[in-house]
Amino acid sequence: MSGYVSDAVIRRLPGYYRHLRELEAAGVRQISSQELGRRMQLTPSQIRQDINCFGGFGRQGYGYTVSDLKEHIGDILGLSQPHRVIILGAGNIGGAVANYPTFAREGFQTQAVFDIDEEKIGTNVGGAEVLPMTALEEYLKEHTADIAVLAVPAREAQTALDRLYIGGVRAVWNFAPTDLNHPEDMIVVNVHLSDSLQILSYRMAHRRTE
Amino acid sequence: MSGYVSDAVIRRLPGYYRHLRELEAAGVRQISSQELGRRMQLTPSQIRQDINCFGGFGRQGYGYTVSDLKEHIGDILGLSQPHRVIILGAGNIGGAVANYPTFAREGFQTQAVFDIDEEKIGTNVGGAEVLPMTALEEYLKEHTADIAVLAVPAREAQTALDRLYIGGVRAVWNFAPTDLNHPEDMIVVNVHLSDSLQILSYRMAHRRTE
């Protein structure tokens, strides 16, 4: 994929990947832009335009080879190389991430979980040992973490992020419901669970009465 | 808000609400489209266009009254009325939702949690009692649930959704990583955690080398 790719196309990439993975798992080998569009609720011409933007894949009249297109999109998403993940916070969200069924399959490997709770330290969360939060610096001297998951309370999130940056971590997946200051060479992607619940509420409030 | 509102604007509404809530909590009373745009990474003209679309709020040169605008957007999002919520699945995700700090404040009230695990039944999750999954139909005969959170394993999600529909639930917030079939009069909003992790991976893979 070369040249300028719009944010809108980038945001659709995971959806493509997910649908193609499901199609592949269901044994589907070829798919038309019509059928893929129907599944993804996009028009066939939008599908063709997107996929063209990924690097010109389709053959007019033949549709797309599911496994090739999935692999290609996975490459664009950076999924072809494994990511070493550490999780800060062994609470519900940290546990949910550590145990999320598809992450390991996509190469996101949880290496360690950190928490301040004495009772959690030493236990196993999603196959990784819970280490004391005070050991974070020591850990990062000896291990590389490609991604840190921030699953600590909002009031502790900024301090935790600063410690991660000093320790060399440059990518953070943040679940703490707060905006964080971070240097420009650190990538932070926020998960705002509220946003999606509010979209549900919006759709309920504006439900057509039929 | 009347007439046609684009999906893109609707998707931005929770972001407006979140930023305005933070501004209000910080004691900010007035905000310009420039400053709001800077915080939300939108252009001032985009901000003015969006807010105009919500119902013509701004006064040229004065900016917006934070609390009024927040309340107005909350109304559009349907947050001015409380929602009774039940959660299916008392695992990590169900627990995270039940304990999420802002939900109760926004009127999403967890009434009951259901699980099949004998050891969890009778315990308290986020202030609500865990009931046996077999009691779901009985519960829905006696109580109204405006929203059900689906936090069960993917293989159990479709059956759970069907039971919710029969029990009268018409809005589902789905965390199971699978697409679900549902009748047209049931609103289902899916949370695909993978999507946001893949966007992080994309940004890491396409990080500019500086």
Statement to judge: residues A112 and A187 lie in one domain: yes
Q: Give the B window 40-69 contacts with A, CB below 8 Å.
A: none
Our CA angle for B149, B197, B193, nearest 5°, is: 10
Q: Are A173 and A148 in contact (CB under 8 A)?
A: yes
* pLDDT of res. B210: 37
**Beta-bridge partners for A113:** A87, A130
Measured CA to CA, the distance from residue A107 to residue A146 in angstroms comes to 12
What is the domain range of residue B34?
7-76
Sort out which chain B residues have CB atoms less than 8 A from A198's CB and list them. Answer: 13-14, 17, 77, 79, 106
Statement to judge: residues A65 and A164 lie in one domain: no
Q: Read off the pLDDT of residues B133-162 as tens digits, 9 standing for 90 and up.
A: 999 999 999 999 999 999 999 899 999 999
* pLDDT of res. B5: 74
User: To which residue do tokens 């971590």 refer?
Assistant: A169
pLDDT band at B29 (very low <50, low <70, confident <90, very high): very high
Q: Count the domains in chain A.
A: 2
pTM over 0.80: yes
Sort out which chain B residues have CB atoms less than 8 A from A15's CB and list them. Answer: 192, 195
pLDDT band at A178 (very low <50, low <70, confident <90, very high): confident
The answer to the question of residue A200 being in a domain is: no
The answer to the question of residue B125 being in a domain is: yes
Where a domain ends, among B76, B106, B124?
A: B76
Determine the average pLDDT of the residues in A118-126: 95
Q: Are A60 and B53 in contact (CB under 8 A)?
A: no
Sort out which chain A residues have CB atoms less than 8 A from B177's CB and list them. Answer: 100-102
Q: Are A124 and A99 in contact (CB under 8 A)?
A: no
* pLDDT of res. B157: 96
Residue to substitute from B190, B200, B204, interface A, most A β-carbons within 10 A = B200
Q: Are A86 and A149 in contact (CB under 8 A)?
A: yes
Statement to judge: residues B72 and B87 lie in one domain: no
The answer to the question of residue A206 being in a domain is: no
The answer to the question of residue B115 being in a domain is: yes
Q: Report the gap between the CA of B153 and the closest CA in chain A (Å).
A: 9
Q: Report the gap between the CA of B52 and the closest CA in chain A (Å).
A: 18
* pLDDT of res. A3: 53
ipTM field:
0.92
Where a domain ends, among A33, A48, A76?
A: A76
The answer to the question of residue B1 being in a domain is: no
Statement to judge: residues A57 and A101 lie in one domain: no
Statement to judge: residues A98 and A37 lie in one domain: no
Statement to judge: residues B167 and B72 lie in one domain: no
Q: Are A193 and B190 in contact (CB under 8 A)?
A: no
Question: Which of these, A79, A205, A206, lies nearest to A147 by C-alpha position?
Answer: A79
Q: Which of B78, B101, B200 sits opposite A205 (nearest CB)?
A: B78
Statement to judge: residues A65 and A112 lie in one domain: no
Q: Which of A60-64, A164-168, B18-22 has the highest mean pLDDT?
A: A164-168
Residue A91, chain B, CB below 8 Å: the answer is yes
Q: Read off the pLDDT of residues B162-191 as tens digits, 9 standing for 90 and up.
A: 999 999 999 999 999 888 999 999 999 999
